[in-house]
Amino acid sequence: MTAGAAGSGSADGGPRSLARPPALRPGDRVAVLSASSPANQAELAVGLDTLRFAGLEPVVYASATDEGSTRSYLAGDDKLRSSDLSAALTDPAIAGIIFATGGYGAQRTLAALDWDTLAGLPPKVLAGYSDVTAILEAFAARLGWASLHSPMVTSSGDAAHYSFGSLLRALMRPDQALITQYPGAVTLAGGVARGITLGGNLTLLASSVGTDTSLPARGGVLLVEEEHEDPYRVDRMLTQLRRSGYLDGVAGIIGGTFTGCGEPALIEDILAERLGDLAVPLVAWANVGHGGHQQAYPIGIAAELDAGARTLRLLDPPLRMGS
């Protein structure tokens, strides 16, 4: 994948995990920042309290509290967001980063980031989803880091307790997060696939193709999820991934949630029609992504997808145990 890729994958020549950050421990200081849009401040306050209840010490950066000083849809200017991200990554007192929110702007943040200052750093956990997909994919592609596609600090709603529980288990008890079951998923193509977990939000994956932060799906177990896109747009983005070569050699595909994207039967038809002839294990409606009971999904971890059983088994814990 990259020259920096590393891990402790299977000894039989199977998939090999990327460099895994250490798990978080009680008392660890974690950065809370936005690489994208302004965070809802009321939801941010609740999320920060939740992290404190879990025994972590959140450190709030300026981008997390910026309410659109540059543009209404950006948490400060590109320099602020990229500087916050770089500062958190290079500060040895910060154990990991849990993004405040998604929205839009992560790709602009990446364009402003000084990658030379990050070369050779030991990996830190990056946790988030939606627009943060661009960040997770970039750090896998450029630095060979594993990360977590997961709920964020402002995650809210009726299922927030479930989603936060999944996040905290992966962050602090990764040895207990080896098996993920998707009981509500639908098997569109059976079989078992082994590969490196990757992917995330469909819009971000498609719009990153052709950049130096795109991580093609060859040899991977790919997650695709989306929200509030018309069915034809979902079709168009999947078609873009196919035509670009991004999907060449993919090992298996997990369709996550497609909240507000049209009738579930139509989404299933689109996934089956656009992806079915790849002849790889394929499920739809795994509870990963926007809406409802979201489960954390690692990026860059050797794993086995059993589409018939609707389970994902990690061959390594998503984060390293111990110091």
Residue type, 77: D
Six-digit token pair at 84? 């916050």
Options 17, 130, 163, 166, the catalytic residue: 130
pLDDT tens-place values along the chain, 323 residues long: 343 333 444 556 789 999 999 999 999 999 999 999 999 999 999 999 999 999 999 999 999 999 999 999 999 999 999 999 999 999 999 999 999 999 999 999 999 999 999 999 999 999 999 999 999 999 999 999 999 999 999 987 777 888 899 999 999 999 999 999 999 999 999 999 999 999 999 999 999 999 999 999 999 999 999 999 999 999 999 999 999 999 999 999 999 999 999 999 999 999 999 999 999 999 999 999 998 789 999 999 999 999 999 999 999 999 998 75
111-138 burial, b if ≥16 CB within 10 A, otherwise e? eebeeeebeeeebbbbbbbbbbbbbbbb
Least Cα distance to 135 among 116, 150, 120 occurs for 150
Cβ of 30: how many Cβ atoms within 10 Å? 22
Is 228 one of the annotated active-site residues of the chain? no
* Residue carrying the six token digits 């958190």: 88
Helix (H) or strand (E) holding 43: helix 41-53
Taken in order of first residue, the domains within the chain and their CATH numbers are: 29-176 (3.40.50.10740), 179-314 (3.50.30.60)
Comparing CA positions, the residue from 136, 171, 153 lying closest to residue 18 is 136
Q: Is 106 left (phi over 0), alpha (psi -120 to 50) or beta?
A: alpha
Establish whether 304 is a catalytic residue. Answer: no
Name the catalytic one among 37, 83, 137, 225: 225
Query: Among the options 63, 83, 290, 304, which is catalytic?
Result: 290
Query: Residue 244 burial by CB count (10 A; 0-12/13-18/19+): exposed, middle or buried?
Result: middle
pTM of the model: 0.95
Separation between Cα atoms, residue 93 and residue 108, nearest integer Å: 26
Is 161 catalytic? The answer is no
Query: Sign of the CA dihedral 40, 42, 48, 54?
Result: negative
Task: Give the model confidence (pLDDT) of 120-174 as tens digits.
Answer: 999 999 999 999 999 999 999 999 999 999 999 998 777 788 889 999 999 999 9
